[in-house]
Amino acid sequence: MNIILFGAPGSGKGTQAVVLNERLGLKHISLGDILRKEVKDNSPVGLKVKSYMERGELVPDDLVAAVIANHLSTEGFILDGYPRNVAQAEKLEAVLRNLNLAIDSFVYMEVAKDTVIDRLTKRIVCKTCGSVYHLRNMPPRQEGVCDSCGGELIQRKDDTPEVISNRWEVFLRESAKLIDFYDKQGKLFRVDANKDKDAVFEKIKLKLNE
């Protein structure tokens, strides 16, 4: 099974991808995580994408297409954060066709702007392993310390009010046509992502079973 998790920043794509990975054994491919690692490593790709990410803009399509192609799996995957526009979706289709693969489901996690702001301004992530927490909804056992690896918990650089607002605008600009693209293929599933983590997972599971 090959799934795309799509939704606004803070809709919970990464959170649900972790659960789906644990339950279904599908490879979790987070483009945001991959790009952040490139930036952290000061790699040639990282140097090119850094300023786009800091502003909350999309990185150019050709650049991210090359990056994602290196991470696809023939064993089943969850794509988190890719594609984000029709041009990326078309490039992805071409790559998958060559591998004799296809997308089975495009899960659109619908969320309100107020929810996004609350989730992202209170999100903390592990500097070492990338585990994600929320100060109120999903706090770590010990303040400031990652449950998984003991690493330091920090705020993401793009989780400032200004950058969150820009990411939301970018999402609104790009999303409608992409949703339509997968709707026409009969692969679109809408899920109310304002609910709590378990309720959202149950909804996704139900849709995938259908």
Binding site for ligand AP5 (CB under 6 A): 7, 9-15, 31-32, 35, 52-53, 56-59, 64, 81-84, 88, 119, 123, 132-134, 137-138, 158, 167, 196-197, 200
The residue among 139, 147, 163, 128 whose CA lies nearest residue 9 is 163
156 carries an active-site annotation? yes
Supply φ then ψ for residue 85, to 5 degrees. Answer: -150, 175
As measured in angstroms, the least distance from the Cβ of 53 to ligand AP5 is 4
123 carries an active-site annotation? yes
As measured in angstroms, the least distance from the Cβ of 208 to ligand AP5 is 17
As measured in angstroms, the least distance from the Cβ of 57 to ligand AP5 is 6
Q: Which of 84, 91, 119, 203 is catalytic?
A: 84
Name the CA radius of gyration of the chain, rounded: 16
Q: Which of 156, 190, 195, 197 is catalytic?
A: 156
Residue that the structure tokens 């064993």 belong to: 75
Count of all residues that appear for the chain in the document = 210
Q: What is the rounded CA–CA span in Å between residue 84 and residue 139?
A: 29
Q: Which residues are catalytic?
A: 13, 84, 123, 156, 167
